[in-house]
Amino acid sequence: MPAKEVNPDLQKERNTATFNPHEFSVFWAGGEDRYKEKKALEKMFLEDPALQDDLPISYLSHKELYEHSLRKACIIGEKIRKLRADGEDGVDTYNALLGGSLGAAILKEGNPLALHYVMFVPTIMGQGTMEQQVEWLSKAWDCEIIGTYAQTELGHGTFLRGLETRADYDPKTQEFVINTPTLSAYKWWPGGLGHTANHAVVVAQLYTKGEFRGLAPFIVQLRDSDTHKPMPGIDIGDIGTKLGMKAVNNGYLGLKNVRVPLNNMLMKNQQVLPDGTYVAPKNSVLTYGTMMFVRCALIRDTAQSLAKSSTIATRYSAVRRQSPIDPNQPEPQIMDHTTQQLKLFPQIAKAIVFKTTGDGIWNMYNVISGEIEQGNLDRLPEMHALSCCLKAVCSADAAAGVETCRLSCGGHGFMDCSNFPTIYGMTTAVCTYEGENTVMLLQTARYLVKVYGQALNGEKLVPTVAYINEALSQQKFVNFDGSLESIVKAFQFVAANKTRIAYEQIELRRKQGHGTEVAANLCGTFLTAAADLHARAFLAQSAYTELLAVSREVSPALGDVLKVVLELYLVDACLNRIGDFLRFIDLTDQDVTKLEVRLESCLKRLRPNAVALVDSFDLHDRVLDSALGAYDGNVYEHIFESTKKNPLNKEPVNGSFHKYLKPFMKAHL
């Protein structure tokens, strides 16, 4: 951390903390070994002068930002090559550089090579045969080819069956002929597609022997390997500026009679034989494996967004003094205001809960992936449903949390130098990519309604929805005593009843003569509400299980703080859905008042350790990149330093004065 003198208010907060932040930092990193690896990576990447910005990137044009970011992305890629050669390129390294805080420190607006690593390579690994992996993976890992993943179209996104890109098999030449027959069929949004990638996995509707077979992925060469000029039949470019992720080089792609060899269709799950015979996959959901993989990873990314924003806002709130609480006393730190604590502390708690839940989901995904490899698909629907709703809820809550932290910093939070605009842009994008959130909730709800019907028939459900069996046998929730366990059980009871209502509403529409899909559309609000509560019930259970377990493994001092974090998360989550709780559980006015008083108590108890907690996230100043959130707390000095980097301030009189303003002012004379 910087050697500058630390702001005395911030130092006081650190001095009065009741636990050792380093202990939490090690837990947050995943253990001592991973903590050391994290520090080594930071030294390797953040201390490299070639990866630092002389000018804040907000002053660069779109073209300049892309070129600047691609230069740094290639340096990162070269370092990854070295790590691979030394056998040190583990999953954590890629997570840190491509989706984690380290990558965001180097490339604030995203990495134009990211999709090559996080989508192109995993798709080949997950959907390619062993022979195809041998052919393509070494080239991809060594970056002899640069790829992206082209699925979303100008006219269609999450609704995959609506995709218009078409691949027709020609048995005479044993090739697929790929076309985007309309403007709306153009591929739109893939990262790196604009000017970076020379290959792509293109998802298209497959036709063989004149029959529609469903979606299939094809490896398509987009640009010449030497000149980088578009290949014949390829219309390609960058889609332009965006709210966030401005350096990712999102592109568009049109294809006109582009021919690719038979073996360029990834055929691990489905096959086309040389004569055009189609061999269907055992389970159509298998083709969605790459998206499920990314959604699981995104849950942990949302925790990082909340960790960064809550660190910036909490440090700022320890330094900023304003609005006397006692008129006879000096202006207090704004973090002493209870309303400020209510903005900040739940975001800290959510960051911790989303991280522990994300780690659990990642482990669950790896276990189920192993089962799928062995041909056991039993838990695939459960994993798909859970990854969909958690991606939706965590990203929505994270985006809202980042905005809350920005608002907590007043006008200074609106400045680019706070880094909130960039963090928000990167976070809110997660609400849309890899499945728009409402559609994700609807996919989960489809699963919930199905398993509810199974539960009515007496079937025992898988662990993540077993609470539905319990609710059916319980009928009425009893003994809500306000304990953390009862809050978790109440969440599950409420979630089960939300699913019950969705199920009953769909059945009612069916009896009225509507088909299944029409009935689902008419009941859309019931379905999304059920999925939302399913995710929140899972988060509550995960928080309760994981944080209590961790609190028993760490020192008593840290364990006590984590218990307060857990209590704050659960009580706040309950109060945020109090209408649903009142609907299904016999809570009294006194019960609700007790919860509100407990929330205030949690804020008060967490207050002495708030700065130590965000320090424990161990976010390098380069990662935060914020004048408001630097480790030394010299907020006003850093804000003023940022103004000196403004190109407008490099000259005392801007040329526009003589060209426009002076003539305008003198015009009436």
Binding-site residues from annotation for FAD: 152, 191
- Adjacent-strand bridge partners of 279: 271
Q: For residues 598 and 594, what is the distance between their CA atoms, to the nearest angstrom? A: 6
DSSP 351-411: HHHHHHHHHHHHHHHHHHHHHHHTT--TTHHHHHHHHHHHHHHHHHHHHHHHHHHHHHTGG
φ, ψ of residue 169 to 5 degrees: the values are -85, 130
Enumerate residues 6+ apart whose C-beta is below 8 A from 229: 223
* Residue keyed to tokens 């086309």: 272
- What six digits make up the tokens of 318? 């320890």
Containing 211, the helix (H) or strand (E) segment is strand 211-221
Q: For residues 594 and 456, what is the distance between their CA atoms, to the nearest angstrom? A: 36
Containing 200, the helix (H) or strand (E) segment is strand 199-208
DSSP 514-533: --HHHHHHHTHHHHHHHHHH
Nearest CA to 197 out of 225, 217, 176, 232 is that of: 225
- Adjacent-strand bridge partners of 199: 147, 221
Q: Quick check: 621 and 630 in contact, CB under 8 A?
A: yes
Cα three-residue angle 149-295-70, rounded to 5 degrees: 45
Q: Quick check: 129 and 264 in contact, CB under 8 A?
A: no
**Phi/psi zone of residue 410: left (φ > 0), alpha (ψ -120 to 50 degrees), beta?**
left
Biggest alpha carbon–alpha carbon distance for the chain: 91
Q: For residues 552 and 549, what is the distance between their CA atoms, to the nearest angstrom? A: 5
Q: For residues 470 and 332, what is the distance between their CA atoms, to the nearest angstrom? A: 50
Q: Is 153 a catalytic residue?
A: no
φ, ψ of residue 481 to 5 degrees: the values are -105, 5
Nearest CA to 81 out of 124, 46, 122, 44 is that of: 44
Check 37, 153, 382, 434 and give the catalytic one.
434
- In the structure, how many helices (H) and strands (E) does the chain have? 26, 11
Pairing label, strands 271-272, 258-261: unpaired
Nearest CA to 296 out of 355, 365, 345 is that of: 365
Query: Active-site residue numbers?
Result: 434
